[in-house]
Structure 1
Amino acid sequence: MSVNFIGYIGFNNTSEIHGGVRSRALDLGYIQDALKAQEEGGFDRVLIPFGSSSPESQIVAAYGAALTSRLGFLVAHRPGFTQPTLAARQLATLDQLSNGRVAVHIITGGADEEMAKDGDVGTTKAERYARSDEYLEIVRKEWSSAKPFDHDGKFYHIRRAASEVRPDNLPVFFGGTSPEAIDVAGRHADVYATWGETLDATREVVSRVRASAARYGRSIGFSLSLRPVIAETEDAAWKRAKEIEDLVRANREQQGLAVSGHRPPNDGSRRLLETASYNRRDARLWTGVAALTGAAGNSTGLVGTPEQVADGLIEYYRYGINNFLIRGFDPLEDAKHYGTLLIPLVRERVAALEASGELKAG
C-alpha cells in the first residue's frame, strides 16, 4: 500500500490566523508559487476547494494543470448544481487535457445556508446524500457505458446519454460520517476522506467504511486531513501551536465570530468537536483550532519535530490511511517545509514497512 500526499490550493495565501476580512479572491501569484512549491515538494495532488462564493474549482484546476507537468489535482465538486452527464464530461475532458492527473472530491454539503447560496433551498441532508448517490451512478455510467443509456430516478430523468470523452482512471473521493454518507461512499467511492481524529476513532470509521464497501463487493482507500505543525524541537512545535490558537482566537473575536460553543451542522464536524474536548489527544494530535472554530473543516493537526510527526502519520498508515491531505496555517511556507522536511521522512518509513512486509497493523 503506497502513500500519497495531497496539498492544498486555497486561492490566496491566507488562513484562520490572518486578520481582517478573509478574501476568497484569486491571487494568481500565490497560486503559481503554491503549484511550484507543491510539485517540487513531492506532493502527489493538491485539493482545489469548493465554496458557494469562492472561485470555481475545475477552472482553477485546469489553470494549474497547464502550469505543471506531474502534479495531480483533487477537484472538489458539489452535486446538484450541474447535470451529472455534463459534470462527467467536464471532468473527463479535464482528465484528458491533464494526461490523467485529475481526481474528484464529491462534497454533498451539510450546511443549509451554504447550499441556499446556490439555490438549493429546503432539501434535507438525507435527500442530498440520496441525490449524490444517484448523481454518482449517472456519472459512472457516462464514463463507462458502451452505448447510450436512459435513466429514471428520483432526481434525474435522462434519455440516450452518451459521451465521446472518458477518463482513463479518475478516482472519486467522498466524505461524511452519517449512515447515509457511509453507504454512498461504500457504493461509489474509490477513496473515503475523513478528518484527523484519534487513532481509535479513525480505526472505527475505517472499519465502518470497509464494511460498507464490502456490501457492494468493492474495496476502498482512505484519506486523512491534518494541519501539521513542525519545528526543530517538540517544545518549539507546541509553542507554535499555542501561537496559532491565540491568533485564531483573536481574529475570530475581532470579526465577531463565536469562539467555541458553536454546534456544527454536519456529523463529521460534530465528531471532530468531540475529539476536541481535550487540547491534545493520543501522543500529538492537537485539537486547539477545532475547539475554537466549532470544528469547521480540516482543523486538527499533529505537532512535533518532523520525525515525530512522520511517526504519527505512520500510525494512521498502519490503520489503512494511504492518502494524507496536509496543509498549514501559513499556506505557502508550510507547504515548502512539508516538502523538504516531512514528506521524504514518511516515504522512507513506508518504504521500510513495505520492504519488511509489514504494511499495517489494523
Structure 2
Amino acid sequence: MSIEILGMIATTPGSESKALTGPVIDPGYVRDFARAHEAAGFDRVLIGYSASSPDGFAVAAAALHATERLKVLIAHRPGFVAPTVVARKLATLDHLTGGGRVAIHHITGGSEADQHRDGDWSEKADRYRRTGEFIEVLRRSLTSETPFDHDGEFYRVEGAYSAVKPATDAGIPIFFGGLSGGAVEVGAAHADVYMLFGEPLAAVAGHVDTISAAAAQHGRAIDFSLSTRPIIAATEEEAWAKARRIYDEAKALQERRLTGDTLSFAAGRRGEKAAVSADLLQQHAALGDVHDERLWLGITKLTGPSGNSTAPVGTPEQVAEALLKYYDLGVSKFLIRGFDPLGDVIEWGEELVPLLRSGARRRDEARELLPA
C-alpha cells in the first residue's frame, strides 16, 4: 500500500474562517494554488462541485496546464451530462495534459437545494442507482474497443463508442463517496476509491470493514481516502491556540453572513436533511469537541452538516502520526484542505507532507518484514 496525498483547489480564496474575496474566478490564484500543491509534494487536487460553482473540467484544465506532475480529481454529479459524453471529456483531457493525471469523483447525495438549482428533483435512492448505472456506462465507454448497446433504468444508448481512450493503462480512476445503504451498495460495486470524512478512528475502521466486505461480494478490492483539515504549529499549545483563533474567525464570519454583510463558506444548511456522512460528523461533534486525543470537531459543530470539517491539531509530527493511524486501518489516500487554503499548503509542504510519506514508508517496510 502506498500513500497518496490530495489537496483541494478553488478559483478564489476563502474558507469557513476567511471571507470570499475577489472575482469568482481568479486565473492567477488558480495557477498559484495548483503550483503550490505541486511544490509541496501533493499528488492530486480535488476540484469541487456545486450547482453555482465554475465548471470543474475547465478549472482542472487550467490547473493541469499550470503544472507538470500534479494530478486532478474532478467532482461530478451524475444526472446532467450523459456518461458517454463525460467519458470522452475525461479521456480527451487526459491526452491533452500529459496522460495519467485525470480522475473523477462522483457525488450523489448532499444538498437537495443544490440538486434543484440544476433541475434535478429525483429522490436520493433513485440518484444512487443512477450513479451506479452512470459509472457502469462511463467505464464501458472508456474501455470498450467496439460499439456497445446499453438499455438500463436511467440510460439507453445504441452503438455507443469513444474513439478516444485514457492516455495510459491506469485509465481514469473512479472515486465515490456516501455512507447511506444505497451509497455503500453502489460504491462497493463500482468505485476504485471510496472517500470518507475524517471521523474518529473507530468509526472509520467500521466503514472500511463494511465497505470492503461489500466490495468483496462483487469480487473487488477498493481503496480508501480520508478528508480532514489539519491545523499545525511549532508546539501543541500553539496549535490549539491557532484552532481557537480559527473558530473565533469562523464564528464571526458566520454571524456577519447571517446579517447579510458578507458571503462565507460556513453557510450551514441546518434546515435541510443532511447526507448520512455529514450527519455522522454532527453526531460525533455532539459527543465532544475532541476525539482520539487531537481530532477537533469545533468547526464541525459550528457550521453544521457541511462536509469535510474535522481537524487533527498539533505539531507536524503529532498530526502526521494521528493521520497515519488511519493508514494502519487501510486508508491510503489523504485529502487535506486548509482554513488558510494557500498558506496552509505551503506550510504543509515543509514538514507535514514529508512526515506523512516517511511514516507511511516505514510502515510499509515493517509489513514486508512480517512472516507470510
TM-score, structure 2 normalization? 0.93
Q: Which residues of 2 match residues 59-208 of structure 1 at below 5 A?
A: 59-98=58-97, 99-121=99-121, 123-167=122-166, 168=168, 169-208=171-210
AA in 1 matched with 2:277 = G
Q: Cα distance, 1:64 vs. partner?
A: 1.3
Partner residue of 1:244 out of 243, 246, 249 = 246
1:283: Cα distance to partner?
Answer: 1.3
Structure 2 gaps of 5+ residues are 259-265
Structure 2 CA distance for partners of 1:254 and 1:107, relative to 1, 3 Å: same
CA positional deviation for 1:229: 0.1
In structure 1, runs of 5+ residues without a counterpart are none
Following superposition, the deviation at residue 295 of structure 1 comes to 2.9
Identity %: 46
Q: Displacement, 1:239?
A: 0.8
Segment drifting more, 251-260 vs 326-335: 251-260
**Larger deviation, residues 104-113 vs 336-345:** 104-113
Aligned twin of 1:347:
357
Q: What SS does the corresponding residue of 2:351 show, helix, strand or coil? A: helix
Describe the shift of the 1:280–1:264 C-alpha distance in structure 2 as closer, same or farther (beyond 3 A).
farther
Match of 1:279 among 285, 289, 292: 289
Task: Note the alpha carbon deviations across 1:201-246, whole angstroms, 9 max, x for none.
Answer: 0000001110111111000000000000000000110111111111
| Conservation of the 8 A alpha-carbon contact between 1:307 and 1:342 | yes
Is the 2:285–2:298 contact (alpha carbons within 8 Å) kept by the matching residues of 1?
Answer: yes
8 Å CA contact 2:274–2:305 kept in 1: the answer is: no
1:317 aligns with 2:319: no
Q: Offset of 1:27 from its aligned partner? A: 1.4
CA contact (8 A) 2:30 2:62 kept: no
Aligned residues: 358
Match runs of 1:278-317 below 5 Å: 278-317=288-327
For residues 256-280 of structure 1, the C-alpha deviation after alignment (integer angstroms, 9 at most, x for no partner) is: 1887966652101001111112110
Q: CA–CA distance in 1 between the matches of 2:22 and 2:189?
A: 37
Cα offset for 1:110? 2.4
C-alpha RMSD over aligned residues: 1.8
Query: 1:80–1:263: structure 2 CA closer, same or farther, 3 Å change rule?
Result: closer
C-alpha distance in 1, partners of 2:322/2:49?
29
TM-superposed CA distance for 1:18, in Å, is 1.8
- What TM-score do the two structures reach when normalised by structure 1? 0.95
Cα 1:334–1:110 change in 2 (3 A) is same
CA distance in 2, matches of 1:339, 1:258: 29
Give the direction of change, closer, same or farther, for the CA distance of 1:304–1:59 in structure 2 (3 Å limit). same
- Classify the secondary structure of the residue corresponding to 2:227: strand
Instruction: Determine the structure 2 residue equivalent to 1:45.
Output: 44
